[in-house]
Structure 1
Amino acid sequence: MPRTPKHPPFTRRSLLRTLGGGAVLGALAGCGVPGAYVAPGDRPAADLSARDRRLTWANWPLYIDSDEKHPNRRPTLEAFEKQTGIAVDYVEEINDNDEFFGKISPALMNHQQTGRDLIVISDWMCARFVRLGWVQEMDRARQPQVAQHLDPLLRSPAFDPGRKFTVPWQSGITGIAYNRRKLGREIQRVSDLWAPGLKGRVTLLSGLDEAFALLMQGNGVDITRWTADDFHRVCDQVERHVRSGQIRRFTGNDYTKDLVSGDVLACQAYSGDVIQLQADNPDIHFVVPEEGAELWADSLMIPDRARRKANAELLVDHYYRPEVAAALASWVNYVCPVPAARDVLAAAKDRDTAALAENPLIFPDPTMRRRLAVARDITSTERLDFARRWNRIVGL
């Protein structure tokens, strides 16, 4: 779900080197040509994968591994190209979910090709694509690695039961980050944000889809089935804390600057960001509150009318091989959607790389997993009213 460009990875870590290079990436199974995809009210879009060994993939910036000595090279992607003979045009063009939606929606509305065979967007936006019928169902028969290794916590979100249309690229947790040394105590619950000693030193995320779930969990709500009343109750609470001065401001990813500077002592935060911050400041902690936290994903989708569907399906499955998922996780440092990658990292010869296997913000431990939930998405009928109310609060 972040929602803004990713932060640079720890480029000093190169798992492909410590695990013996591309040899660890096993050979891929061959692929055939899938059945034609039928768009509602339109003619089938023929898949050209068998004779067109190419693929265009749109992703966020800095959201894939790169070579330590040659930053423009992407080892896991190059391994896929070598093993399959499929040339991948990898484009880092997604900087904002809504902006990207606006870029490709005109083509999709008219059942035209977008020029992209595979895209990565946040699950709350994926839900919109699925509801609109703008995404092709993947053929799991061609994705044995996904079928075997996808994290059970991410297998069946409300907007896409069984993950027929989407596959998580990377995942993450929206929880609370705080400066333990400057605060002088632990934060354990969402309600701790409202302690008198934190007045003016707290920030919340500004995006509706990013902020609401954690705050509902603080009220004991099951976010897999929350209601409009739950939403408005949260808004009433946040509005009071804004007017009282408890909340300093609402932020995008720039909350990291406030936390590092000490202007803010506690804030809503993404787990992947905090791993980056901890490298320079171990006093910054991340907590999954006792009431729970939201587990989210940025997911891979094949847009309607994409002409190289089988190639895209093969690439998705490539990244669910545990050794490939481990290489990716060691660079981007978000929650890995392939739990089996943990054993691969633990076996790494490089000590820093092996330590990632024990990081609960990459591989949540059993206690943390019990507190995580995937929120049901905001439906199209709810969104206008909810966004109007939330934006009024953010603008106070």
Structure 2
Amino acid sequence: MPLTPKNLSLPRRSLLLALLGGVAGCGVPAAYVRPGERAVADLSARQRKLTWANWPLYIDTDDDHPGRRPTLEAFEKRTGISVTYTEEINDNDEFFGKISPALMNHQQTGRDLIVMSDWMCARFVRLGWVQQMDRAKQPNVAEHLDPLLRSPAFDPGRRYTVPWQSGITGIAYNHRKLGREIRSVADLWAGDLKGRVTLLSGLDEAFALLMQGNGVDITRWTAADFDRVCDQVEKYVAGGHIRRFTGNDYTKDLVTGDVLACQAYSGDVIQLRADNPDIRFVVPEEGAELWSDSLMIPDRALHKRNAERLVDHYYEPEVAAELAAWVNYVCPVPAARDVLASAKDKETAALAENALIFPDAEMRKRLVIARDITSRERVGFAKRWNAIVGL
């Protein structure tokens, strides 16, 4: 996930989720859009353009001209399609609240392509707020999408979503200051880490790794598994073991040494290690969550075909490699690894051997996509979790 306030839990989050969760939980289909009502006449053939909303710092830029985006400009030049690119997504819930009134009322959002975290994508898919992509017109996606990412529970076969970038929620720690390695989730609770551990504040970001520490298969976790995690976290909060709950600001505590170990995102740690090689990232022995931020085409988008072509453009291995070299997250196109390995620049070529960009076979065995939290579960789960976190 890009190094922005992406996963800060907002106080209004629970209210927003409760309102929509309550609608779905009661079986009232007011917000749901049926398949036949999602599309409008596609203007792609005569309007060679599209609008794309993404997160800040989540695409390659030219070192000498930061306003230029080489991979995007290459698409525009090759296809003649102009792209209005906006960095307007700073938080999943905030952006959801921004465009949900239009989607709920069968109106256009003004965007042909958006990027959201998969747990939020799950909500869009359930509500019928996104259109199915025509994979026959996306040969690169069909061929090159990482098998680990092809069929999450919320979107079997990836009909409605395509990963933009992926990442791992694991554990980061300062090896030099701690003086030992961390290998498992249980290691977070060692006595010498009391008051020096942080967890992620967002429910969707935190729960899976903690369940894995209990040996839970997170593709089919239960309410009992969730309650067990909450009981454990409450105990560690009461005992002063957990210093605090964080958004992406955990990186500051880790750099200063106020925190020695924490829940963390793989992409952040790659950036931190550039300045401090003592900071390490571990995929615990019990496993870690593999997540994605995924591309979706909202209902009533006016340029669906153009958007599908842009998505497919980023699944060309050469393009995916250029993007991966800049953003440093887990690349959803394994074939991009060979492209980077053949680069003349040694630093670029070295990225092909970075397991946090291209997980090796051993690491891949321990990466799992978690079952998402359903609308029926969300209200009660969010209420309990937010009480623990202090929201």
With structure 2 as the length reference, what TM-score do the two structures score?
Answer: 0.92
| Aligned pairs for 1:87-166 within 5 A | 87-166=82-161
Report the equivalent of 2:215. 220
SS of residue matched to 1:296:
strand
Cα deviations by residue, 1:186-245 (Å, 9 ceiling, x for unpaired):
000000000000000000000000000000000000000000000000000000000001
Residues 41 and 328 (structure 1), Cα distance of their counterparts in 2 relative to 1, 3 Å cut: closer
1:42 Cα shift? 3.6
Report the equivalent of 1:303. 298
How far apart are the structure 2 equivalents of 1:42 and 1:344? 42
1:44 Cα shift? 4.8
Residues 3 and 210 (structure 1), Cα distance of their counterparts in 2 relative to 1, 3 Å cut: farther
How far apart are the structure 2 equivalents of 1:325 and 1:42? 33
Contact 1:173/1:293 (8 A) holds in 2? yes
Amino acid of the residue matched to residue 228 of structure 2? R
Q: Which runs of 5+ in 2 are unaligned?
A: 7-32
Residues 193 and 70 (structure 1), Cα distance of their counterparts in 2 relative to 1, 3 Å cut: same
1:171 aligns with 2:204: no
How far apart are the structure 2 equivalents of 1:372 and 1:88? 34
SS of residue matched to 2:267:
helix
1:48 Cα shift? 0.7
How far apart are the structure 2 equivalents of 1:350 and 1:41? 50
Contact 2:39/2:301 (8 A) holds in 1? no
Report the equivalent of 1:274. 269
SS of residue matched to 1:310:
helix
1:395 Cα shift? 1.2
Report the equivalent of 1:45. 40
Contact 2:58/2:327 (8 A) holds in 1? yes
SS of residue matched to 1:280:
coil
Amino acid of the residue matched to residue 108 of structure 1? L
Amino acid of the residue matched to residue 81 of structure 1? E
Contact 1:2/1:122 (8 A) holds in 2? no
Percent sequence identity over matched residues?
84
How far apart are the structure 2 equivalents of 1:169 and 1:288? 22
SS of residue matched to 1:363:
coil
How far apart are the structure 2 equivalents of 1:381 and 1:135? 21
SS of residue matched to 1:126:
helix
Residues 387 and 87 (structure 1), Cα distance of their counterparts in 2 relative to 1, 3 Å cut: same
Superposition misfits of 4+ residues, deviation over 6 angstroms:
none
Report the equivalent of 1:24. none
1:320 aligns with 2:315: yes
1:43 Cα shift? 8.0
Contact 1:5/1:61 (8 A) holds in 2? no
With structure 1 as the length reference, what TM-score do the two structures score?
Answer: 0.91
1:198 aligns with 2:193: yes
Cα deviations by residue, 1:13-56 (Å, 9 ceiling, x for unpaired):
xxxxxxxxxxxxxxxxxxxxxxxxx9546485111111110000
1:356 Cα shift? 0.3
| Aligned pairs for 1:365-384 within 5 A | 365-384=360-379
SS of residue matched to 1:147:
helix
How far apart are the structure 2 equivalents of 1:298 and 1:262? 30
Residues 44 and 241 (structure 1), Cα distance of their counterparts in 2 relative to 1, 3 Å cut: closer
SS of residue matched to 2:334:
coil
| Aligned pairs for 1:346-365 within 5 A | 346-365=341-360
How far apart are the structure 1 equivalents of 2:65 and 2:2? 26
